Amino acid sequence: MIVQLNEYDFLKRAMAVYGNQEAVVSGDLRLTYNQLGERVNRWVNLMRSLGVQQNERVAIISQNDHRLMDGFFGAPLAGAVYMPINFRLIADDFNYILNHGGAKILIVEDWLVPAIESIRGELKTVEHFITFSDSGAIPEGWQNYDELLAAASAEAPQPAEVDENDVATILYTSGTTGRPKGVMSTHRNLYINAMNSIIEFGLKPEDTYFHTLAQFHCNGWGLPYAVTGVGAKHVIVKKYEPTSFFDLATRERMSFACMPPIMINLALNHPMTNEQRAALPREGVRVATAGSAPPMASIKGMQEQFGWQVIQIYGLTETSPFLTVSKVKPHMRDWSQEEKYRVQTRTGYTMLGVETRVVDEAGNDVPADNQTVGEIIARSNVVMKGYWLQPEATDAVIVDGWFHTGDMATMDAEGMVEIVDRKKDLIISGGENISSIEVEGMLYKHPKVLEAACIGIPNEKWGEVPAALVVLKAGEQSTEEDIIQFCRDNLAHYKCPKSVSFIDALPRTATGKIQKNLLRDKFWQGKGKRVG
Q: What is the pLDDT of residue 523?
A: 66
Check pLDDT > 60 for residue 510.
no
Check pLDDT > 70 for residue 63.
yes
Please return the burial class of 3, using the count of CB atoms within 10 Å of its CB with bins 0-12, 13-18 and 19+.
exposed
Average pLDDT, stretch 432-446?
Answer: 85
- Which of 232, 278, 279, 237 shows the shortest CA–CA distance to 259? 237
Question: Distance (Å, rounded) from C-alpha 294 to C-alpha 355?
Answer: 24
Q: Residue 399 falls within a domain, yes or no?
A: no
Q: What is the pLDDT of residue 451?
A: 86
Q: Residue 478 falls within a domain, yes or no?
A: yes
Domain count, the chain: 2
Report which of residues 514 and 14 the model is more confident about. Answer: 14
Give the residue from 219, 239, 259 where a domain finishes: 239
Q: Residue 100 falls within a domain, yes or no?
A: yes
Share of the chain above pLDDT 90, in %: 78
Average pLDDT, stretch 306-315?
Answer: 95
Inter-residue contact 173 to 183 (CB < 8 Å): yes
Q: Residue 385 falls within a domain, yes or no?
A: no
* Residue 179 banded pLDDT, cuts 50, 70, 90: confident
Inter-residue contact 172 to 85 (CB < 8 Å): yes
Average pLDDT, stretch 494-498?
Answer: 95
Q: What is the pLDDT of residue 327?
A: 95
* Residue 426 banded pLDDT, cuts 50, 70, 90: confident
C-beta neighbour count of 243 within 10 angstroms: 11
The pLDDT tens digits of the residues spanning 140-168 come to 999 999 999 999 999 999 999 999 999 99
The pLDDT tens digits of the residues spanning 228-280 come to 999 999 999 999 999 999 999 999 999 999 998 888 988 998 999 999 999 99
Q: Residue 260 falls within a domain, yes or no?
A: no
CATH code assigned at 456: 3.30.300.30
Check pLDDT > 90 for residue 290.
no
CATH code assigned at 151: 3.40.50.12780
Check pLDDT > 60 for residue 103.
yes
The pLDDT tens digits of the residues spanning 345-371 come to 899 999 999 999 999 999 999 999 998
Inter-residue contact 92 to 438 (CB < 8 Å): no
The pLDDT tens digits of the residues spanning 113-143 come to 999 999 999 999 999 999 999 988 899 999 9
Check pLDDT > 80 for residue 180.
yes
Q: What is the pLDDT of residue 152?
A: 98
Check pLDDT > 80 for residue 398.
yes
Give the residue from 189, 217, 239 where a domain finishes: 239
Extended beta strands in 206-299, E state: 208-211, 233-236, 256-258, 286-289
DSSP code, position 508: B
Check pLDDT > 80 for residue 93.
yes
Q: Residue 70 falls within a domain, yes or no?
A: yes
Domain residues for the domain of 449 are 426-527
Q: Residue 382 falls within a domain, yes or no?
A: no
Q: Residue 139 falls within a domain, yes or no?
A: yes
Question: Distance (Å, rounded) from C-alpha 170 to C-alpha 500?
Answer: 35
Please return the burial class of 451, using the count of CB atoms within 10 Å of its CB with bins 0-12, 13-18 and 19+.
middle
Q: What is the pLDDT of residue 61?
A: 98
Give the residue from 190, 211, 239 where a domain finishes: 239
